[in-house]
Structures are given as structure tokens and as C-alpha cells.
Amino acid sequence: MRFATLIFAFLCTLNSIFGQTQKPPLNITHLTGDFYIYTTYNLYEGYQVPANGMYLVTNQGVALFDTPWDTTQFQPLLDSIQKRHQQKVVFAIATHWHSDKTAGLEYYRQQGIKTYTTAYTDELSQKNGKKRAEFLTTKDTVFQIGQYRFETFYPGEGHTADNIVLWFGKEKILYGGCLIKGADDETLGYLGDANVLEYAATLKKVQKKYPKPKFIIIAHSDWNNKNSLKHSIKLAKELKKKHQ
């Protein structure tokens, strides 16, 4: 009887542990003002990997920056935004061609949302069989949505050939996507489509153009540490030395 009781207690403990570590498929965190970070998950090399995106609530609707990686969360994200803010998503932009950024573009276009990428991203999306946007930009562009403005910036090749960053000047928010890695990351992550020789120079261009951000939002790690860009430059320099 005592043995059975111990087994039951052990199983309850395991259930409690796994229950605490299991993550919801969609998590939304307030960043500052009208800015929010949303996180979905997908499997990469057997591990559950988070993918961060961002959205902005304006007086003319919600702007979405990158789409969920988890294809089951396209509509739940829209529903969550509507419930929380009583606003609809009216705009979406993806920062490079990989599926963790572009997967939801076609779905959102079908919902009447204006979807954007660069023409270069569209070219690579088409070549690699990824989802594509309805509208394309051919150069760095300033967008005005409601009372907010932000700009796109193509600094050069890094994580991918087409990766862009977004800058919200008034709020000093740098949205780096997959180009910038976490301050505690040991590597630059997936490099299958990267330019390892140009990566450091590309990151330095971002640092020079936006030297004092208040927030640096990155795709797959914690965004609370502003040393992420500096650390990524260090990793990129080390990577370049290995390949020279």
C-alpha cells in the first residue's frame, strides 16, 4: 500500500512538472504603449522553438509584423487581437522569406488584410515555394498606419539574402527578426541560407543606423536584453574568421 502511494505521489509530481513547462500555442506579452509581442512555437531538429512576432494597435487597425510559425495559430492570433483590443488586423509585413515569418501571408491576404514583403523576399519565396504577399516594396520604405510611423531597412545579407529590419523612430524600437540573435545565444542559429562572410558587416550597418534603441525585438530568443545586437556582431565576426 505504501509503495502504491509513493508511485501515485511520484506520478502526480511528474504531472505537475510537465504541466508547468508545457507552453500554450500562442502567447501575447505587452511590450510598451500599443506594442505587443506574440509568440508561437514549432519543432526544429526535435526541439520546440519559439518564434516571436510583434503587433501594433493603431487608431486605424492593427499592424502585424511577421506571421505565426505555427499554422494552427493564424486565426487564433486574429481572434485574440480582436477580443483584447476590439480591433481588426489591417496590415501585415514579413521580414524575410523563411516560413517562420511568411507562413501566414496567404491566409491573411484571404482575410482582406494588406500583406507586404520586399520584392527580393517575394522572389525568394516564389523560388522556394513559400507563401507570398500581395504588395511589394522595391526600396527602404516608410509606412504610416494610423498615428504611427515606421521604416524598413535592408542592411545587406546575413541570416538570409533578403532580411530586413524595422525601426519605430519615436518609440526607438528595433525589430530585428531572425537577423539578430539573443544575448545568451552561443551561435547564430540556422545558417543554411546565410552569408557568413557578410553577416558581421550587415549587423554593423544596423548598429550604426540605429545606435540607441530602447528595445531590440528578436525572433527566437528573449528580447529583454539589449546586448543582443552587440553579441550577434561578436558571433558573426567569429563565424567569418572560421570561414576565411
At 14, is the pLDDT very low, low, confident or very high (cuts 50, 70, 90)?
very low
Could you report the per-residue pLDDT of 86-97, keeping only the tens digit for each?
A: 999 999 999 999
At 52, is the pLDDT very low, low, confident or very high (cuts 50, 70, 90)?
very high
Q: Quote the pTM value.
A: 0.90
- The whole domain housing 136 covers 2-243
- Which of 86, 57, 77 is CA-nearest to residue 145? 57
Tell whether the model's pLDDT for residue 102 goes beyond 60. yes
pLDDT for the residue numbered 12: 42
Region 59-67 average pLDDT = 98
Region 11-37 average pLDDT = 72
CATH number assigned to the domain comprising residue 99: 3.60.15.10
CA atoms within 13 A on the CB side of 73: 24
Number of domains forming the structure of the chain:
1
Alpha helices in 38-143 (DSSP H): 74-85, 99-102, 105-110, 119-127
